[in-house]
Chains A and B, each alone.
Chain A
């Protein structure tokens, strides 16, 4: 970690022995106990801790499920029923894994929304943001493959629909798309070969996510956390040591989040799922409405909004990849929407757009839903490609405090114009 030097001083002989050979306690103390965190960060900043916790939950429950799950087309569905009925606490661990995926995405989307609102993607945090997008993509791949494993109707047909998208490459290079799709499937249709490879990759990817999370936290600790004012830490009074302040806040937030988690796990385990996935996969019978899990719905809506197959696929993938460019698409000199009275309303509408797209993604592509799907898809890209750059330059930010401490404790003296207040920011 580049910026913060640990003031750890081992007192015991054992402590000194370790410190001279592998200074892990020193590093952990410096980065997670003493580390200066802005004193004004609100509860939206607890999402990082929630995400790390839920990554752990998913890996722990997943490894345990893998002790009982059979990853073959003939036995997968039956093995899940075996887990639900016969394995000791199997029903509980399976519910935790299924609901945990949703909690993971819920926390991730709040985490991203926080970043968008407070400008956490702006320099010097561009790489931190991009690594976050990489984590999001890995999460989506993991969840997509994981959903296929129970081998229910939705598992099978969601995989069929999404992998079939790659055949749109045929319109650029004839034959290549089909070959790619068959390579993905391991056959001429989704089959047991697809399931077995998805099982292997679904087990692998969370560890890639864990590695990316390590890089994400490292990148964060080099530049320090953002905060609601968007100002950097300048004096000791601006910050508090991570332990016990931020740690207690994270643990409290986790307990509250776990209330929601437990409510779903114990009383509504199938609420976020689809009844059709309790029907064994049948290659000869398509469900009337194929719907992905809720966290994919906005992208599904964007995919279907474009009438052309290839362009729809490009739009869907672009909608995620474009996030990587946000640090440069946003031209504002002010980080936080707290001081951006005009842009913030566009951002609120953008978040509403994503929710609206999610709703539309759950509906059949008929009638009025088609029109609204296109309207909101258009706004999604307009916001990122046009609104962000233009409003950023044109907007007059509101008066900002001179420091984090001032925003917390109140100001003495005259307000300072915005251009001076953002002081040490580099682009």
Chain B
């Protein structure tokens, strides 16, 4: 026991443990060890092949007035609808004060932007409404894309899971969903071609 106590005290008494060279070496080693962690963390970020699919281009020419298509973008369904003038009028007529969710929910705009139809479409292309087709309640895909689907009380989309009604601008009007359908960031690369994401 005495021998071991002697040995233990040597650990504490060693005069060189706090020398500069020792601190410097340990600091260098420590910094390297910390930096070596980065690749292990970064590898979980989306890889190059996923990033390549981060945006998708959609040809709008085959989508006639009154028709709609659903495209896959980043693994999610996106509703692209070519609205009739009547549908556009109904969307413009709604007052923001009557809406459950006053925010435009447009990725290209700040959160405070009001949910007017103009804030949810692109200038010069107001007949096109492009929204992420995931109900903001619990994530079902609302009906309304195909001609035979029911479109709910406001002519837009209707979610069959729990009865949320969206209008022709994709805004929530009735039912349990709290927010308007999200408008992803997109741009018209030509009159008949749009790039989402």
Contacts and interface: CB of A to CB of B under 8 A. Distances in A.
Given A36-B4, A241-B8, A67 B43 contact: yes
B40 A7 contact: no
A305 interface: no
Contacts of A384: none
A255 B11 contact: no
Nearest to B3: A236
Given A36-B7, A60-B40, A235-B3, A244 B17 contact: yes
Q: How many interface residues does chain A have, given as a range?
A: 20 to 34
Contacts of A86: 47-50
Contact of A88 (B6, B10, B17, B42): B42
Q: At the interface, is chain A mostly helix, strand, loop or mixed?
A: mixed
A64 B40 contact: yes
Interface in A377-400: none
A90 B47 contact: yes
Given A89-B42, A89-B43, A5 B11 contact: no
B147 interface: no
A222 interface: no
Contact of A34 (B4, B29, B40, B50): B4
A147 to B, nearest CB: 22
Given A89-B39, A93-B39, A235-B3, A243 B11 contact: yes
B190 interface: no
Contacts of A248: 22
B44 interface: yes
Interface in B35-92: 39-40, 42-45, 47-50
B5 interface: yes
Contacts of B40: 60, 64, 89, 93
Contacts of A16: none
A92 B39 contact: yes
Nearest to A60: B40
Contacts of B11: 33-34, 241, 243-244
A23 B40 CA distance: 32
Interface residues of B, number: 23
Nearest to A239: B7
A305 to B, nearest CB: 43
Interface in B8-30: 8, 10-11, 14, 17, 22, 29
A93 B48 CA distance: 16
A96 to B, nearest CB: 9
A34 B4 CA distance: 8
B48 A85 contact: yes
A421 interface: no
Contacts of A244: 11, 14, 17
B194 to A, nearest CB: 27
A239 B40 CA distance: 39
A103 to B, nearest CB: 15
Contact of B10 (A87, A90, A235, A240): A240
Contact of B44 (A67, A240, A255): A67
A244 B29 CA distance: 15
Given A33-B11, A86-B48, A251-B29, A93 B4 contact: no
A34 B8 contact: yes
A4 interface: yes
A82 interface: yes
A17 B49 CA distance: 52
B34 interface: no
Contacts of A60: 40
B1 interface: yes
A7 B5 contact: yes
B45 A88 contact: yes
A9 to B, nearest CB: 10
Given A85-B48, A241-B11, A244-B11, A236 B6 contact: yes
A240 B14 CA distance: 11
Interface in A237-270: 239-241, 243-244, 248, 251, 255
B10 A241 contact: yes
A182 B44 CA distance: 38
B45 to A, nearest CB: 5
Given A5-B4, A88-B47, A88-B48, 4 more contacts: A64-B43, A89-B43, A236-B3, A244-B11
**A-B residue pairs, 10 tightest by C-beta:** A89-B39, A86-B48, A86-B47, A86-B49, A236-B6, A236-B3, A241-B11, A87-B47, A88-B42, A34-B8
Interface of A: 4-5, 7, 33-34, 36, 60, 64, 67-68, 82, 85-90, 92-93, 235-236, 239-241, 243-244, 248, 251, 255
25 contacts: A5-B1, A5-B4, A33-B11, A34-B4, A36-B4, A36-B7, A64-B40, A64-B43, A68-B47, A82-B47, A86-B49, A88-B42, A88-B45, A88-B47, A88-B48, A89-B42, A90-B47, A92-B39, A236-B3, A240-B7, A241-B7, A241-B10, A241-B11, A248-B22, A251-B29
